[in-house]
Structure 1
Amino acid sequence: MKRTITIVSTILILLLVACNNSQGENSGEYIVETSAGNITEAEFIQVLKDTYGDVVLANLIEQKILAQEAETLNIDDEEIQEEVDSLKATFGTPDDEAFLQMLQMQGVPSIEDLHTRILSHLVLQHHVGHVGDVTDEELLDEYALGEEVEARHILVKEEELALELYERIQSGEDFAELAIEYSEDPGSGQQGGDLGFFKRNAMVPPFEEMSFRLDVGEISEPVRSQHGYHIIQVTNKREFEEDFDEVKENLRNAFNNRKIYKMSEKQKELMSDIEITVNDEQFKSLEEVQTN
Protein backbone atom coordinates (compact mmCIF):
# COMPACT_ATOMS: atom_id res chain seq x y z
CA MET A 1 0.00 0.00 0.00
CA LYS A 2 3.10 2.22 0.11
CA ARG A 3 5.41 3.55 -2.54
CA THR A 4 8.65 5.38 -1.89
CA ILE A 5 8.62 7.73 1.09
CA THR A 6 9.92 10.58 -1.05
CA ILE A 7 6.95 10.36 -3.42
CA VAL A 8 4.49 10.03 -0.55
CA SER A 9 5.89 13.02 1.32
CA THR A 10 6.00 15.25 -1.75
CA ILE A 11 2.50 14.35 -2.89
CA LEU A 12 1.19 14.65 0.68
CA ILE A 13 2.36 18.27 0.77
CA LEU A 14 0.77 18.95 -2.62
CA LEU A 15 -2.51 17.40 -1.58
CA LEU A 16 -2.66 19.27 1.70
CA VAL A 17 -1.88 22.60 0.05
CA ALA A 18 -4.33 21.95 -2.76
CA CYS A 19 -7.10 20.81 -0.44
CA ASN A 20 -6.60 23.79 1.86
CA ASN A 21 -6.75 26.17 -1.06
CA SER A 22 -9.84 24.49 -2.44
CA GLN A 23 -11.75 25.48 0.68
CA GLY A 24 -11.54 29.16 -0.31
CA GLU A 25 -13.00 31.28 -3.01
CA ASN A 26 -10.33 30.47 -5.58
CA SER A 27 -10.99 26.75 -5.96
CA GLY A 28 -12.29 27.20 -9.49
CA GLU A 29 -9.44 29.40 -10.71
CA TYR A 30 -6.96 28.16 -13.25
CA ILE A 31 -3.63 27.17 -11.77
CA VAL A 32 -2.10 26.78 -15.23
CA GLU A 33 -3.13 28.57 -18.39
CA THR A 34 -1.87 27.38 -21.78
CA SER A 35 -2.72 28.04 -25.40
CA ALA A 36 -3.88 24.42 -25.57
CA GLY A 37 -6.27 24.76 -22.64
CA ASN A 38 -6.34 25.65 -18.96
CA ILE A 39 -6.07 23.49 -15.83
CA THR A 40 -8.27 24.19 -12.83
CA GLU A 41 -7.39 23.49 -9.25
CA ALA A 42 -10.18 20.93 -9.09
CA GLU A 43 -8.72 19.02 -12.04
CA PHE A 44 -5.29 19.08 -10.45
CA ILE A 45 -6.59 17.77 -7.11
CA GLN A 46 -8.57 14.98 -8.79
CA VAL A 47 -5.52 13.75 -10.70
CA LEU A 48 -3.51 13.74 -7.49
CA LYS A 49 -6.26 11.76 -5.76
CA ASP A 50 -6.55 9.28 -8.62
CA THR A 51 -2.80 8.77 -8.92
CA TYR A 52 -1.52 8.96 -5.35
CA GLY A 53 -4.57 9.35 -3.12
CA ASP A 54 -4.65 5.80 -1.74
CA VAL A 55 -0.94 5.95 -0.88
CA VAL A 56 -1.18 9.33 0.85
CA LEU A 57 -4.38 8.49 2.73
CA ALA A 58 -3.03 5.14 3.94
CA ASN A 59 0.13 6.92 5.08
CA LEU A 60 -1.91 9.50 6.99
CA ILE A 61 -4.01 6.79 8.68
CA GLU A 62 -0.86 5.01 9.78
CA GLN A 63 0.66 8.23 11.10
CA LYS A 64 -2.47 9.02 13.13
CA ILE A 65 -2.52 5.54 14.69
CA LEU A 66 1.17 5.53 15.57
CA ALA A 67 0.98 9.09 16.93
CA GLN A 68 -1.88 8.05 19.22
CA GLU A 69 0.11 5.04 20.41
CA ALA A 70 3.15 7.27 21.01
CA GLU A 71 0.99 9.51 23.21
CA THR A 72 -0.20 6.47 25.15
CA LEU A 73 3.42 5.39 25.64
CA ASN A 74 4.45 8.93 26.70
CA ILE A 75 6.96 9.23 23.86
CA ASP A 76 7.74 12.94 23.70
CA ASP A 77 9.66 15.44 21.57
CA GLU A 78 12.72 15.07 23.79
CA GLU A 79 13.07 11.39 22.88
CA ILE A 80 12.69 12.20 19.21
CA GLN A 81 15.33 14.92 19.46
CA GLU A 82 17.72 12.48 21.14
CA GLU A 83 17.39 10.22 18.11
CA VAL A 84 17.95 13.17 15.77
CA ASP A 85 21.09 14.18 17.69
CA SER A 86 22.33 10.60 17.53
CA LEU A 87 21.88 10.59 13.76
CA LYS A 88 23.71 13.90 13.46
CA ALA A 89 26.61 12.42 15.37
CA THR A 90 26.58 9.30 13.23
CA PHE A 91 26.61 11.32 10.01
CA GLY A 92 29.15 13.78 11.42
CA THR A 93 26.86 16.68 10.45
CA PRO A 94 26.17 18.91 13.48
CA ASP A 95 25.17 21.74 11.13
CA ASP A 96 21.40 21.65 10.40
CA GLU A 97 21.75 22.46 6.71
CA ALA A 98 24.43 19.82 6.14
CA PHE A 99 22.32 17.32 8.10
CA LEU A 100 19.27 18.01 5.93
CA GLN A 101 21.35 17.56 2.77
CA MET A 102 22.57 14.22 4.10
CA LEU A 103 18.99 13.16 4.88
CA GLN A 104 17.83 14.08 1.41
CA MET A 105 20.64 11.98 -0.05
CA GLN A 106 19.18 9.08 1.95
CA GLY A 107 15.67 9.71 0.60
CA VAL A 108 14.32 11.65 3.60
CA PRO A 109 12.96 14.95 2.22
CA SER A 110 12.57 16.98 5.41
CA ILE A 111 13.21 17.15 9.17
CA GLU A 112 9.44 16.80 9.71
CA ASP A 113 9.43 13.57 7.73
CA LEU A 114 12.39 12.33 9.79
CA HIS A 115 10.50 13.09 13.02
CA THR A 116 7.52 11.07 11.76
CA ARG A 117 9.75 8.11 10.96
CA ILE A 118 11.51 8.28 14.32
CA LEU A 119 8.19 8.45 16.16
CA SER A 120 6.97 5.32 14.38
CA HIS A 121 10.22 3.52 15.10
CA LEU A 122 10.14 4.44 18.81
CA VAL A 123 6.60 3.11 19.13
CA LEU A 124 7.51 -0.25 17.57
CA GLN A 125 10.79 -0.39 19.44
CA HIS A 126 8.89 0.06 22.72
CA HIS A 127 6.80 -3.05 21.98
CA VAL A 128 9.44 -5.30 20.41
CA GLY A 129 12.81 -4.03 21.58
CA HIS A 130 15.71 -2.32 19.88
CA VAL A 131 16.92 -3.97 16.69
CA GLY A 132 20.57 -4.88 17.23
CA ASP A 133 20.18 -4.97 21.00
CA VAL A 134 21.14 -8.61 21.55
CA THR A 135 23.51 -9.95 24.20
CA ASP A 136 26.18 -12.61 23.84
CA GLU A 137 24.15 -14.71 26.26
CA GLU A 138 21.16 -14.62 23.90
CA LEU A 139 23.38 -15.50 20.96
CA LEU A 140 24.89 -18.40 22.88
CA ASP A 141 21.35 -19.68 23.46
CA GLU A 142 20.80 -19.45 19.69
CA TYR A 143 24.05 -21.30 19.06
CA ALA A 144 22.93 -24.11 21.35
CA LEU A 145 19.83 -24.64 19.19
CA GLY A 146 22.00 -25.89 16.35
CA GLU A 147 22.88 -24.92 12.79
CA GLU A 148 20.24 -26.85 10.84
CA VAL A 149 16.81 -28.29 11.45
CA GLU A 150 14.96 -30.98 9.54
CA ALA A 151 11.21 -30.50 9.75
CA ARG A 152 7.86 -31.14 8.18
CA HIS A 153 4.74 -29.02 8.37
CA ILE A 154 1.08 -28.72 7.51
CA LEU A 155 0.05 -25.31 6.15
CA VAL A 156 -3.58 -24.18 6.10
CA LYS A 157 -5.22 -20.78 5.80
CA GLU A 158 -7.79 -21.02 8.59
CA GLU A 159 -6.85 -21.07 12.28
CA GLU A 160 -9.87 -23.20 13.14
CA LEU A 161 -8.77 -25.95 10.74
CA ALA A 162 -5.19 -25.73 12.02
CA LEU A 163 -6.36 -26.25 15.60
CA GLU A 164 -8.53 -29.19 14.52
CA LEU A 165 -5.62 -30.86 12.71
CA TYR A 166 -3.32 -30.28 15.68
CA GLU A 167 -5.80 -32.04 17.97
CA ARG A 168 -6.13 -34.92 15.51
CA ILE A 169 -2.35 -35.35 15.44
CA GLN A 170 -2.26 -35.29 19.23
CA SER A 171 -4.94 -37.97 19.20
CA GLY A 172 -2.72 -40.26 17.13
CA GLU A 173 -3.55 -39.55 13.48
CA ASP A 174 -0.65 -39.73 11.05
CA PHE A 175 1.08 -36.38 10.43
CA ALA A 176 2.17 -37.22 6.88
CA GLU A 177 -1.28 -38.43 5.81
CA LEU A 178 -2.91 -35.26 7.14
CA ALA A 179 -0.28 -33.15 5.33
CA ILE A 180 -1.04 -34.90 2.03
CA GLU A 181 -4.78 -34.37 2.50
CA TYR A 182 -4.87 -30.84 3.91
CA SER A 183 -1.59 -28.94 3.48
CA GLU A 184 -1.73 -25.99 1.08
CA ASP A 185 2.03 -25.86 0.62
CA PRO A 186 2.46 -26.96 -3.01
CA GLY A 187 6.11 -27.83 -2.49
CA SER A 188 5.87 -30.11 0.55
CA GLY A 189 2.23 -31.11 0.89
CA GLN A 190 2.38 -34.21 -1.28
CA GLN A 191 5.66 -35.18 0.39
CA GLY A 192 3.92 -35.56 3.72
CA GLY A 193 4.94 -32.03 4.65
CA ASP A 194 8.67 -32.82 4.46
CA LEU A 195 10.88 -29.73 4.08
CA GLY A 196 14.27 -31.37 4.51
CA PHE A 197 17.08 -29.60 6.35
CA PHE A 198 17.26 -25.80 6.47
CA LYS A 199 19.37 -23.14 8.18
CA ARG A 200 18.39 -19.81 9.66
CA ASN A 201 17.04 -17.13 7.29
CA ALA A 202 15.67 -19.81 4.94
CA MET A 203 12.11 -19.69 6.30
CA VAL A 204 9.75 -16.92 7.38
CA PRO A 205 10.76 -15.68 10.86
CA PRO A 206 7.94 -17.13 13.02
CA PHE A 207 8.36 -20.53 11.33
CA GLU A 208 12.12 -20.41 11.79
CA GLU A 209 11.95 -19.38 15.44
CA MET A 210 9.57 -22.18 16.35
CA SER A 211 11.42 -24.82 14.33
CA PHE A 212 14.75 -24.19 16.03
CA ARG A 213 13.18 -24.15 19.49
CA LEU A 214 11.36 -27.47 19.13
CA ASP A 215 13.00 -30.68 20.29
CA VAL A 216 13.38 -33.54 17.82
CA GLY A 217 9.99 -35.25 17.50
CA GLU A 218 8.11 -32.38 19.10
CA ILE A 219 5.04 -30.92 17.34
CA SER A 220 4.08 -27.27 17.62
CA GLU A 221 0.68 -25.77 18.12
CA PRO A 222 -0.37 -23.72 15.05
CA VAL A 223 2.12 -20.95 14.23
CA ARG A 224 0.87 -17.96 12.24
CA SER A 225 2.87 -16.40 9.40
CA GLN A 226 1.95 -14.36 6.34
CA HIS A 227 1.30 -17.67 4.55
CA GLY A 228 -1.26 -19.01 7.01
CA TYR A 229 -1.04 -21.39 9.98
CA HIS A 230 1.72 -23.98 10.27
CA ILE A 231 1.81 -27.14 12.35
CA ILE A 232 5.50 -28.03 12.60
CA GLN A 233 7.26 -31.21 13.58
CA VAL A 234 11.04 -31.30 13.91
CA THR A 235 12.46 -34.64 12.77
CA ASN A 236 16.21 -34.02 13.13
CA LYS A 237 18.82 -31.40 14.05
CA ARG A 238 22.47 -30.74 13.23
CA GLU A 239 24.81 -28.97 15.60
CA PHE A 240 27.31 -26.32 14.52
CA GLU A 241 30.72 -27.58 13.49
CA GLU A 242 32.19 -24.06 13.77
CA ASP A 243 32.97 -22.38 17.07
CA PHE A 244 30.59 -19.77 18.44
CA ASP A 245 32.83 -16.82 17.52
CA GLU A 246 32.90 -17.94 13.88
CA VAL A 247 29.11 -17.88 13.49
CA LYS A 248 28.24 -15.16 16.00
CA GLU A 249 27.45 -12.48 13.41
CA ASN A 250 25.25 -14.84 11.36
CA LEU A 251 23.29 -15.60 14.52
CA ARG A 252 23.00 -11.88 15.25
CA ASN A 253 21.61 -11.23 11.76
CA ALA A 254 19.02 -13.98 12.11
CA PHE A 255 18.02 -12.69 15.55
CA ASN A 256 17.60 -9.14 14.23
CA ASN A 257 15.64 -10.29 11.17
CA ARG A 258 13.12 -11.92 13.48
CA LYS A 259 12.86 -8.72 15.52
CA ILE A 260 12.25 -6.63 12.39
CA TYR A 261 9.49 -9.06 11.40
CA LYS A 262 7.94 -8.71 14.86
CA MET A 263 7.96 -4.92 14.45
CA SER A 264 6.07 -5.29 11.17
CA GLU A 265 3.54 -7.61 12.80
CA LYS A 266 3.09 -5.23 15.74
CA GLN A 267 2.43 -2.39 13.31
CA LYS A 268 -0.29 -4.48 11.62
CA GLU A 269 -1.76 -5.27 15.03
CA LEU A 270 -1.95 -1.58 15.93
CA MET A 271 -3.69 -0.89 12.63
CA SER A 272 -6.24 -3.64 13.20
CA ASP A 273 -7.09 -2.35 16.69
CA ILE A 274 -8.41 0.95 15.31
CA GLU A 275 -11.88 1.39 13.84
CA ILE A 276 -11.53 2.96 10.40
CA THR A 277 -14.43 4.38 8.39
CA VAL A 278 -13.60 5.83 4.98
CA ASN A 279 -16.30 8.23 3.83
CA ASP A 280 -14.91 8.79 0.33
CA GLU A 281 -16.10 5.89 -1.85
CA GLN A 282 -12.96 6.21 -3.98
CA PHE A 283 -10.87 4.99 -1.04
CA LYS A 284 -13.24 2.48 0.60
CA SER A 285 -10.71 -0.31 0.07
CA LEU A 286 -8.47 1.31 2.69
CA GLU A 287 -10.81 0.02 5.39
CA GLU A 288 -9.25 -3.38 4.66
CA VAL A 289 -6.12 -2.16 6.48
CA GLN A 290 -7.83 -3.54 9.59
CA THR A 291 -7.81 -7.10 8.31
CA ASN A 292 -4.75 -7.29 6.02
Structure 2
Amino acid sequence: MTTPQQPPPENAYVVGDKYGSDQTEQSIRTTITDRDLATAKEAQIAWKGQWEDNSDRLAFAINGQQAQSQRLALLQDIDGYASGFMGQSWTVSPSTTVQIPFNRQLGPQKKAEVAADGRLILKAGGLWRIDAHLTFSGYTLNQTIMPISTPPYFIVIQTWDPISAKFWLEVMNAQGQHLTVRACDALPNVALYGANTSEIVNNPASVAYNHTFVLENMPSPDDSTAPDHWAYVRLTMRYEPIATGQFASAYCKLTGGTRSSALIAARWSRDIENIRYEPNVPNGGNLG
Protein backbone atom coordinates (compact mmCIF):
# COMPACT_ATOMS: atom_id res chain seq x y z
CA MET A 1 0.00 0.00 0.00
CA THR A 2 1.26 3.47 -0.83
CA THR A 3 0.23 6.68 0.79
CA PRO A 4 2.10 9.53 -0.96
CA GLN A 5 2.89 12.43 1.32
CA GLN A 6 0.74 10.86 4.08
CA PRO A 7 1.45 8.50 6.98
CA PRO A 8 0.00 4.98 6.47
CA PRO A 9 -3.05 3.96 8.49
CA GLU A 10 -2.52 2.00 11.70
CA ASN A 11 -1.76 -1.66 11.09
CA ALA A 12 -1.68 -1.14 7.33
CA TYR A 13 0.65 -3.28 5.21
CA VAL A 14 3.35 -1.03 3.76
CA VAL A 15 5.38 -2.30 0.80
CA GLY A 16 8.50 -0.38 1.77
CA ASP A 17 11.52 0.33 -0.32
CA LYS A 18 12.07 -3.35 -1.12
CA TYR A 19 8.54 -3.73 -2.53
CA GLY A 20 7.96 -6.86 -0.53
CA SER A 21 10.90 -8.78 -1.85
CA ASP A 22 11.98 -9.52 1.69
CA GLN A 23 8.61 -11.03 2.65
CA THR A 24 7.91 -14.72 2.89
CA GLU A 25 4.62 -16.61 3.12
CA GLN A 26 5.12 -17.14 6.84
CA SER A 27 6.00 -13.50 7.54
CA ILE A 28 2.93 -12.36 5.63
CA ARG A 29 0.68 -14.77 7.55
CA THR A 30 2.18 -13.57 10.83
CA THR A 31 1.64 -9.94 9.87
CA ILE A 32 -1.95 -10.56 8.87
CA THR A 33 -2.91 -12.77 11.82
CA ASP A 34 -1.07 -10.92 14.57
CA ARG A 35 -3.03 -7.85 13.75
CA ASP A 36 -6.38 -9.46 14.81
CA LEU A 37 -5.22 -12.31 17.06
CA ALA A 38 -4.74 -10.20 20.18
CA THR A 39 -8.23 -8.73 19.86
CA ALA A 40 -9.69 -12.19 19.25
CA LYS A 41 -7.92 -13.53 22.32
CA GLU A 42 -9.28 -10.67 24.40
CA ALA A 43 -12.78 -11.45 23.13
CA GLN A 44 -12.33 -15.14 23.97
CA ILE A 45 -11.14 -14.31 27.48
CA ALA A 46 -14.09 -12.00 28.02
CA TRP A 47 -16.49 -14.66 26.65
CA LYS A 48 -14.97 -17.35 28.85
CA GLY A 49 -15.21 -15.09 31.88
CA GLN A 50 -18.86 -14.46 31.20
CA TRP A 51 -19.56 -18.18 30.98
CA GLU A 52 -17.65 -18.79 34.19
CA ASP A 53 -19.87 -16.19 35.87
CA ASN A 54 -22.94 -17.87 34.43
CA SER A 55 -21.68 -21.26 35.64
CA ASP A 56 -21.17 -19.89 39.14
CA ARG A 57 -24.68 -18.48 39.16
CA LEU A 58 -26.10 -21.74 37.83
CA ALA A 59 -24.26 -23.73 40.50
CA PHE A 60 -25.69 -21.41 43.15
CA ALA A 61 -29.18 -21.95 41.77
CA ILE A 62 -28.70 -25.71 41.65
CA ASN A 63 -27.44 -25.75 45.22
CA GLY A 64 -30.47 -23.73 46.26
CA GLN A 65 -32.77 -26.20 44.54
CA GLN A 66 -31.04 -29.08 46.30
CA ALA A 67 -31.63 -27.40 49.63
CA GLN A 68 -35.28 -26.89 48.71
CA SER A 69 -35.53 -30.51 47.65
CA GLN A 70 -34.30 -31.56 51.07
CA ARG A 71 -36.93 -29.35 52.67
CA LEU A 72 -39.62 -31.01 50.58
CA ALA A 73 -38.34 -34.37 51.76
CA LEU A 74 -38.85 -33.17 55.32
CA LEU A 75 -42.44 -32.23 54.51
CA GLN A 76 -43.03 -35.63 52.95
CA ASP A 77 -41.70 -37.24 56.10
CA ILE A 78 -44.34 -35.40 58.13
CA ASP A 79 -47.22 -36.87 56.14
CA GLY A 80 -49.64 -39.17 57.90
CA TYR A 81 -53.29 -39.67 57.20
CA ALA A 82 -56.18 -42.11 57.12
CA SER A 83 -59.91 -41.68 56.65
CA GLY A 84 -62.69 -44.09 57.57
CA PHE A 85 -66.47 -44.10 57.52
CA MET A 86 -69.22 -46.40 58.76
CA GLY A 87 -69.97 -49.11 56.22
CA GLN A 88 -73.35 -49.83 57.84
CA SER A 89 -76.07 -48.07 59.81
CA TRP A 90 -76.68 -49.29 63.36
CA THR A 91 -79.21 -49.16 66.17
CA VAL A 92 -77.83 -48.67 69.67
CA SER A 93 -79.30 -49.93 72.91
CA PRO A 94 -79.90 -47.35 75.68
CA SER A 95 -77.61 -47.06 78.70
CA THR A 96 -74.91 -49.06 76.89
CA THR A 97 -71.43 -47.85 75.98
CA VAL A 98 -70.53 -48.96 72.46
CA GLN A 99 -67.67 -48.44 70.03
CA ILE A 100 -68.81 -46.96 66.72
CA PRO A 101 -67.28 -48.96 63.83
CA PHE A 102 -65.70 -46.74 61.16
CA ASN A 103 -64.66 -49.83 59.25
CA ARG A 104 -64.46 -48.67 55.62
CA GLN A 105 -61.40 -46.93 54.19
CA LEU A 106 -61.75 -43.76 52.12
CA GLY A 107 -58.77 -42.66 50.03
CA PRO A 108 -55.07 -43.42 50.60
CA GLN A 109 -53.44 -43.90 53.97
CA LYS A 110 -49.91 -43.31 55.22
CA LYS A 111 -48.45 -43.96 58.68
CA ALA A 112 -52.03 -44.64 59.76
CA GLU A 113 -54.60 -47.31 59.00
CA VAL A 114 -58.34 -47.97 59.10
CA ALA A 115 -58.68 -51.18 61.09
CA ALA A 116 -61.31 -53.82 60.40
CA ASP A 117 -62.85 -53.29 63.84
CA GLY A 118 -63.58 -49.61 63.10
CA ARG A 119 -60.63 -47.97 64.86
CA LEU A 120 -57.82 -45.89 63.40
CA ILE A 121 -54.24 -47.06 63.95
CA LEU A 122 -51.56 -44.36 64.22
CA LYS A 123 -48.05 -45.59 63.41
CA ALA A 124 -45.85 -42.53 63.94
CA GLY A 125 -45.18 -40.00 66.65
CA GLY A 126 -45.85 -36.28 66.44
CA LEU A 127 -48.82 -33.94 66.46
CA TRP A 128 -52.01 -35.64 65.25
CA ARG A 129 -55.54 -34.32 64.72
CA ILE A 130 -58.63 -36.51 64.67
CA ASP A 131 -61.91 -35.27 63.16
CA ALA A 132 -65.15 -37.11 63.84
CA HIS A 133 -68.52 -36.65 62.14
CA LEU A 134 -71.58 -38.64 63.11
CA THR A 135 -75.30 -38.46 62.36
CA PHE A 136 -77.77 -39.97 64.79
CA SER A 137 -81.48 -39.89 65.50
CA GLY A 138 -83.41 -41.07 68.52
CA TYR A 139 -86.16 -40.42 70.99
CA THR A 140 -87.52 -41.39 74.40
CA LEU A 141 -91.06 -42.75 74.51
CA ASN A 142 -92.63 -41.91 77.86
CA GLN A 143 -95.89 -43.53 79.02
CA THR A 144 -97.96 -42.54 82.00
CA ILE A 145 -101.03 -44.50 83.15
CA MET A 146 -103.94 -42.33 84.24
CA PRO A 147 -106.89 -43.95 86.09
CA ILE A 148 -110.43 -43.15 84.98
CA SER A 149 -113.82 -44.06 86.47
CA THR A 150 -115.14 -46.02 83.49
CA PRO A 151 -113.83 -49.11 81.72
CA PRO A 152 -111.08 -49.85 80.98
CA TYR A 153 -110.49 -47.64 84.08
CA PHE A 154 -107.21 -46.24 82.79
CA ILE A 155 -105.72 -44.48 79.81
CA VAL A 156 -102.10 -44.33 78.66
CA ILE A 157 -100.65 -40.91 77.94
CA GLN A 158 -97.67 -41.00 75.58
CA THR A 159 -95.08 -38.28 75.08
CA TRP A 160 -91.86 -38.18 73.09
CA ASP A 161 -88.69 -36.60 74.37
CA PRO A 162 -85.09 -36.48 73.06
CA ILE A 163 -82.26 -38.73 74.17
CA SER A 164 -79.18 -37.53 76.00
CA ALA A 165 -76.12 -38.73 74.08
CA LYS A 166 -72.44 -38.47 74.91
CA PHE A 167 -69.45 -39.24 72.66
CA TRP A 168 -65.79 -39.87 73.45
CA LEU A 169 -62.78 -39.72 71.12
CA GLU A 170 -60.38 -42.09 72.85
CA VAL A 171 -56.70 -42.55 72.08
CA MET A 172 -55.21 -45.72 73.53
CA ASN A 173 -51.87 -47.50 73.47
CA ALA A 174 -51.33 -51.08 72.32
CA GLN A 175 -51.90 -52.30 75.86
CA GLY A 176 -55.40 -50.78 75.96
CA GLN A 177 -54.54 -47.91 78.31
CA HIS A 178 -56.01 -44.47 77.64
CA LEU A 179 -53.55 -41.82 76.52
CA THR A 180 -56.04 -39.01 76.02
CA VAL A 181 -59.80 -38.56 75.63
CA ARG A 182 -62.04 -35.79 74.32
CA ALA A 183 -65.74 -35.83 75.22
CA CYS A 184 -68.73 -34.29 73.45
CA ASP A 185 -72.20 -33.96 74.96
CA ALA A 186 -75.19 -33.87 72.60
CA LEU A 187 -78.79 -33.11 73.56
CA PRO A 188 -80.58 -32.37 70.27
CA ASN A 189 -84.01 -30.88 69.67
CA VAL A 190 -84.45 -29.55 73.20
CA ALA A 191 -86.43 -26.59 71.86
CA LEU A 192 -88.98 -28.99 70.36
CA TYR A 193 -90.13 -30.56 73.60
CA GLY A 194 -93.52 -28.95 73.30
CA ALA A 195 -94.29 -30.69 70.02
CA ASN A 196 -94.55 -34.09 71.75
CA THR A 197 -94.42 -35.95 68.45
CA SER A 198 -91.92 -38.65 67.56
CA GLU A 199 -91.36 -37.34 64.03
CA ILE A 200 -89.95 -34.02 65.24
CA VAL A 201 -88.03 -35.26 68.26
CA ASN A 202 -86.54 -38.09 66.18
CA ASN A 203 -85.18 -35.66 63.57
CA PRO A 204 -81.53 -36.56 62.67
CA ALA A 205 -78.79 -34.54 64.35
CA SER A 206 -75.09 -34.34 63.43
CA VAL A 207 -72.15 -34.17 65.79
CA ALA A 208 -68.78 -32.96 64.47
CA TYR A 209 -65.78 -32.37 66.72
CA ASN A 210 -62.05 -32.97 66.81
CA HIS A 211 -59.13 -33.80 69.06
CA THR A 212 -55.49 -32.72 68.71
CA PHE A 213 -52.77 -34.52 70.68
CA VAL A 214 -49.10 -35.48 70.63
CA LEU A 215 -47.71 -39.02 70.50
CA GLU A 216 -44.22 -40.22 71.39
CA ASN A 217 -41.85 -41.23 68.59
CA MET A 218 -42.37 -44.77 67.36
CA PRO A 219 -40.12 -47.38 65.69
CA SER A 220 -40.12 -47.72 61.92
CA PRO A 221 -43.01 -49.83 60.58
CA ASP A 222 -40.37 -52.33 59.40
CA ASP A 223 -39.39 -52.95 63.03
CA SER A 224 -40.94 -56.15 64.38
CA THR A 225 -41.72 -54.38 67.68
CA ALA A 226 -43.48 -51.43 66.00
CA PRO A 227 -47.06 -52.66 66.69
CA ASP A 228 -46.31 -52.59 70.41
CA HIS A 229 -45.89 -48.81 70.16
CA TRP A 230 -48.80 -47.90 67.88
CA ALA A 231 -51.74 -45.82 69.11
CA TYR A 232 -55.39 -46.65 68.50
CA VAL A 233 -58.23 -44.17 68.08
CA ARG A 234 -61.88 -45.05 68.57
CA LEU A 235 -65.15 -43.16 68.90
CA THR A 236 -67.49 -44.47 71.59
CA MET A 237 -70.94 -43.35 72.65
CA ARG A 238 -73.62 -43.85 75.26
CA TYR A 239 -77.09 -42.40 75.51
CA GLU A 240 -79.70 -42.27 78.21
CA PRO A 241 -83.48 -41.88 77.99
CA ILE A 242 -84.98 -38.62 79.24
CA ALA A 243 -87.64 -40.16 81.43
CA THR A 244 -90.61 -37.92 82.19
CA GLY A 245 -93.25 -40.62 82.57
CA GLN A 246 -93.86 -43.74 84.62
CA PHE A 247 -92.46 -45.97 81.90
CA ALA A 248 -89.77 -44.96 79.45
CA SER A 249 -88.12 -46.66 76.49
CA ALA A 250 -85.56 -45.22 74.13
CA TYR A 251 -84.34 -45.72 70.59
CA CYS A 252 -81.26 -44.53 68.71
CA LYS A 253 -79.98 -45.02 65.16
CA LEU A 254 -76.52 -44.20 63.76
CA THR A 255 -76.45 -43.43 60.03
CA GLY A 256 -73.48 -44.77 58.07
CA GLY A 257 -72.08 -43.86 54.67
CA THR A 258 -69.71 -41.16 53.44
CA ARG A 259 -72.39 -38.46 53.63
CA SER A 260 -73.19 -38.96 57.31
CA SER A 261 -70.09 -40.41 59.00
CA ALA A 262 -66.33 -39.92 59.09
CA LEU A 263 -63.34 -40.54 61.31
CA ILE A 264 -60.21 -38.86 59.93
CA ALA A 265 -56.61 -38.78 61.17
CA ALA A 266 -54.07 -36.22 59.93
CA ARG A 267 -50.48 -35.79 61.12
CA TRP A 268 -49.51 -32.11 61.31
CA SER A 269 -45.95 -32.37 62.65
CA ARG A 270 -43.39 -34.96 63.70
CA ASP A 271 -42.34 -32.84 66.69
CA ILE A 272 -43.22 -34.25 70.10
CA GLU A 273 -42.96 -31.22 72.38
CA ASN A 274 -45.54 -30.51 75.09
CA ILE A 275 -47.10 -33.92 75.54
CA ARG A 276 -49.70 -32.87 78.08
CA TYR A 277 -52.74 -34.91 79.05
CA GLU A 278 -54.67 -33.08 81.76
CA PRO A 279 -58.29 -34.30 81.77
CA ASN A 280 -58.93 -32.72 85.18
CA VAL A 281 -57.74 -29.29 86.27
CA PRO A 282 -58.37 -27.23 89.43
CA ASN A 283 -61.00 -24.53 89.74
CA GLY A 284 -59.53 -21.19 88.71
CA GLY A 285 -62.12 -19.00 90.43
CA ASN A 286 -64.40 -16.37 88.93
CA LEU A 287 -63.51 -14.89 85.54
CA GLY A 288 -65.95 -12.00 85.90
Q: Smaller-chain TM-score range? A: under 0.3
The structure that has the greater radius of gyration is 2
Structure richer in helix, relative to its length: 1
Structure richer in strand, relative to its length: 2
Q: If the length of structure 1 is used for normalisation, what is the TM-score?
A: 0.18
Q: If the length of structure 2 is used for normalisation, what is the TM-score?
A: 0.18
